[in-house]
């Protein structure tokens, strides 16, 4: 059986770091939402082992890859003797703050659950996903949610109103561990207003969503990579209605209500940033993301 699974990216509408935990991770409170920029994972059953291939040369093909680790985890935990060939059609920029690697892992878990008839629930897949990375549980579930803890305690909330998301990824990638490592929790920071964001989402208030975009990691990444600040300014100048860095960065996104405005912002970034995308929000999508099964 061959299975194709869609692996969409996420953006953070808010991100707050509450404190550092004894286990070394940070206690987070954030609003995440799925966007229509997706990798595609093709899974083909083979007699044994794990083979990974990708259309991108920028990702590892061994157990440093989260999709590879997802397959290895299922094989080990459920004594699966069969193997899989994983082909990752990469669209989501790498090391970008968009959870590309986590989403590939989540899609692999979902696809192999079907292919190997493991019968695991979404909740069980999300719990397994947490062993791979903090963003994997959200990627298993998708939609729009408040994420707490490391990112695994998820409360579904109203999706953003329909709009366009323009994304600009600076040439360099960013290590999440380094960004968290450089965060000084003793320093005063502008904390997101979670209630105001949730309220804006519930009322489908696009202006309110834009006004409450906030990410405490932005200042940390921006101080090392000034291009993040320049991209924000440029998006703002060309008419993005709300602008923020996603996750630990360095991708900057701009929210725009109209397609014509999205085009204007994209044009404004020409010659300034090579990786630019304009996609739609997917935050309300509840349907499972398996889009094709061939037997
Ligand atoms: O969980 P994941 O492997 O994606 O996290 C990568 C790194 O980001 C961790 O090793 C840790 O340094 C940092 N992190 C954190 N607190 C979180 C999530 C990630 O400190 N809640």
Q: Helices 227-237 & 259-269, crossing angle to 10 degrees?
A: 140
pLDDT at 258: 94
Rounded Cα distance, 280 and 8, in Å: 11
Residues 168 and 140 in one domain: no
Lowest mean pLDDT among 25-34, 54-63, 122-131: 54-63
Indicate whether residue 148 lines ligand 1 (CB < 6 A).
no
**Could you give the ipTM of this predicted complex?**
0.98
H helices present in 94-135, as ranges = 100-115, 122-130
Q: Where is the domain boundary, 103, 134, 157?
A: 157
Q: Starting at the edge strand that comes first in sequence, how are the strands of the sheet with 275-280 ordered?
A: 242-245, 252-256, 164-169, 275-280
> Could you give the number of structural domains in the chain?
2
Residues 7 and 122 in one domain: yes
Confidence of residue 282 (pLDDT cuts 50, 70, 90): confident
Residue 292 lies in a domain: no
H helices present in 170-280, as ranges = 176-182, 194-202, 206-211, 218-224, 227-237, 259-269
Rounded Cα distance, 7 and 99, in Å: 10
Would you say residue 288 has pLDDT above 50? Answer: no
Residues 91 and 209 in one domain: no
Residues 150 and 180 in one domain: no
Rounded Cα distance, 214 and 131, in Å: 28
Residues 130 and 208 in one domain: no
Would you say residue 72 has pLDDT above 60? Answer: yes
pLDDT at 264: 97
Residue 200 lies in a domain: yes
Overall average pLDDT of the 70-90 stretch = 98
Report the CATH number that the domain containing residue 231 is assigned in CATH.
Answer: 3.30.70.890
pLDDT at 57: 84
Residue 142 lies in a domain: yes
Indicate whether residue 58 lines ligand 1 (CB < 6 A).
no
Residue 208 lies in a domain: yes
Report the CATH number that the domain containing residue 129 is assigned in CATH.
Answer: 3.30.230.10
pLDDT digits (tens, 9 = 90+) for 98-156: 999 999 999 999 999 999 999 999 999 999 999 999 999 999 999 999 999 999 999 99
Q: Where is the domain boundary, 133, 157, 181?
A: 157
pLDDT at 17: 97
pLDDT at 285: 57
Ligand 1 center to residue 101 CA distance, Å?
A: 13
Indicate whether residue 180 lines ligand 1 (CB < 6 A).
yes
In the chain, count of helices (H) and strands (E)?
10, 12
Confidence of residue 287 (pLDDT cuts 50, 70, 90): very low
Q: Where is the domain boundary, 126, 157, 188?
A: 157
Domain range enclosing 50: 2-157
Residue 203 lies in a domain: yes
Residue 295 lies in a domain: no
Residues 101 and 182 in one domain: no
pLDDT digits (tens, 9 = 90+) for 199-209: 999 999 999 99
Residues 171 and 262 in one domain: yes
Q: How far is CA 252 from CA 97, 190, 260, 269, in A?
A: 9, 18, 19, 12
Ligand 1 center to residue 206 CA distance, Å?
A: 31
* 88 strand-pairing partners: 41, 54
39 is catalytic: no
Residues 25 and 138 in one domain: yes
Overall average pLDDT of the 25-46 stretch = 97
Residues 62 and 86 in one domain: yes
* pTM for the predicted model, two decimal places: 0.95
pLDDT digits (tens, 9 = 90+) for 228-259: 999 999 999 999 999 999 999 999 999 999 99
Residues 239 and 266 in one domain: yes
Would you say residue 294 has pLDDT above 60? Answer: no
Residues 178 and 122 in one domain: no
Residues 181 and 272 in one domain: yes
Confidence of residue 58 (pLDDT cuts 50, 70, 90): confident
Q: How far is CA 283 from CA 22, 68, 151, 156, 186, in A?
A: 33, 27, 17, 10, 34
pLDDT at 284: 67
Would you say residue 48 has pLDDT above 50? Answer: yes
Q: How far is CA 290 from CA 52, 53, 209, 286, 287, in A?
A: 19, 20, 29, 12, 9
């Amino acid at each position: 059986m061959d299975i194709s699974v869609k692996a969409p990216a996420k953006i953070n509408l808010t991100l707050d770091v509450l404190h550092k935990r004894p286990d070394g991770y940070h206690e987070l409170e954030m609003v995440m939402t799925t966007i229509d920029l997706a990798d595609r994972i093709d899974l083909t059953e083979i007699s044994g082992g794990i083979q990974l291939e990708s259309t991108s040369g920028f990702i590892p093909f061994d157990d440093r890859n989260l999709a590879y680790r997802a397959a290895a985890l299922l094989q080990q935990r459920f004594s699966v003797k069969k193997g899989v060939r994983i082909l990752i059609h990469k669209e989501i920029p790498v090391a970008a703050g968009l959870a590309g690697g986590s989403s590939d892992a989540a899609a692999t878990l979902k696809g192999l659950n079907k292919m190997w008839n493991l019968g695991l629930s979404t909740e069980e897949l999300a719990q397994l996903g947490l062993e791979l990375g903090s963003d994997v549980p959200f990627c298993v579930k998708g939609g729009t949610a408040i994420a707490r803890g490391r990112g695994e305690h998820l409360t579904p909330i109203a999706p953003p109103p329909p709009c366009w998301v323009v994304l600009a990824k600076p040439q360099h990638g960013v290590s999440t561990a380094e960004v968290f490592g450089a965060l000084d929790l003793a320093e005063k920071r502008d904390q997101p207003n979670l209630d105001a964001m949730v309220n804006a989402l519930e009322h489908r208030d696009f202006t309110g969503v834009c006004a409450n975009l906030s990410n405490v990691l932005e200042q940390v990444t921006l101080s090392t990579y000034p291009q993040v600040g320049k991209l924000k300014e440029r998006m703002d100048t060309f008419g993005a209605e709300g602008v923020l860095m996603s996750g630990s960065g360095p991708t900057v996104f701009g929210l725009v209500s109209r397609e014509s405005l999205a085009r204007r912002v994209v044009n404004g970034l020409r010659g300034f940033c090579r990786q630019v995308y304009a996609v739609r929000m997917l935050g309300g999508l509840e349907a499972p993301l398996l889009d094709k099964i061939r037997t």
